[in-house]
Structure 1
């Protein structure tokens, strides 16, 4: 496993974007259809699969599909996942990064880009929080890819990436606080 950051503390220069309180309500609405059955969700997957969240990743693995990119943090709804889920989703984790809650930092954006560019399934273990990475994943994933993330107490949200979804996520990310110019440089390289 490689670490993308060298310091144990969250470095200020690693901070790119911070979720402003005014945008939090917009993220509560699902960005795609919600599915509770992983097998049924996978019937609609045609292309790369990016999973954001431990429980989502676990259900996809249980259904027999390893995501091409998985982002996990060992937590669900702010509590630790049980040992079975943690072991299943972190097995073979190849990148480890830090990313503070409600932020998108340099290490996680770099890890996402690297994971999307490799042909091998890649699991990114995030120390902190991975939830917001669904947004840049939708922007950076190829047309037709599936980004799946959890909607607490409802199920799995399945976003099939289109130009419209990318534009919507770009608009949302532009409204975050921080260095959007550097963020786009890192994400789009």
Structure 2
């Protein structure tokens, strides 16, 4: 559905929020809305303190298989999605949207790669939600969603290649596609 163009890759290098190495400190700084974790290591660390409302895992870290899978048993439900590397598939976007709307805690098992999922998670999460993703070899990035972070991620989605209008409709977003590059 959406593909990451090479021109946008550098934009993903800098963390969108503060870095943490301690799960308890991160949770103390978290917002009062849903907690979304993107990545196996981040999800595993935070499961020591709480159960995220939504977690995205792919059984890999730094593109290498994990020795041990993240425990799925604390979650109410597990949803399997396919999402190739450097993309945001229709499958992943719909499952993320549905998981955020659900009262059930949900782990999304991604066949492929979940790395980009923080972008739409921030773009559609309500104010006060917290999206946590890993910054390799540095820690966990904690993003408390507000109008500014949401707008930045919506602008990023509008710059991606692919079916932007369909993705916007699927996520019920108003993306400024007129000013976005083609």
Question: How far 1:47 moved relative to its partner?
Answer: 2.0
Q: Which deviates the most, 91-100 or 46-55?
A: 91-100
Q: Which runs of 4+ in 1 moved over 6 A?
A: none
Pick from 129, 142, 149 the counterpart of residue 126 of structure 2.
142
Is 1:75 aligned with 2:60? yes
Unaligned runs of 5+ in 1: 1-15
Pick from 132, 150, 154 the counterpart of residue 170 of structure 1.
154
Taking structure 1 as the reference length, the TM-score comes to 0.87
Alignment partner, residue 36 of structure 2: 50
Contact 2:43/2:70 (<8 A) preserved: no
1:65-114 CA-partner distances (Å, limit 9, x unpaired): 1000000000010001121xx142x3345100100000001000010011
Q: How many residues align?
A: 170
Is 1:179 aligned with 2:171? no
1 or 2, which has the higher helix percentage? 1
Unaligned runs of 5+ in 2: 174-182
Q: What secondary structure does 1:32 align onto?
A: coil
Distance 2:70 2:15 in 1: 28
Q: Which deviates the most, 134-143 or 43-52?
A: 43-52
Taking structure 2 as the reference length, the TM-score comes to 0.90
Distance 1:42 1:140 in 2: 20
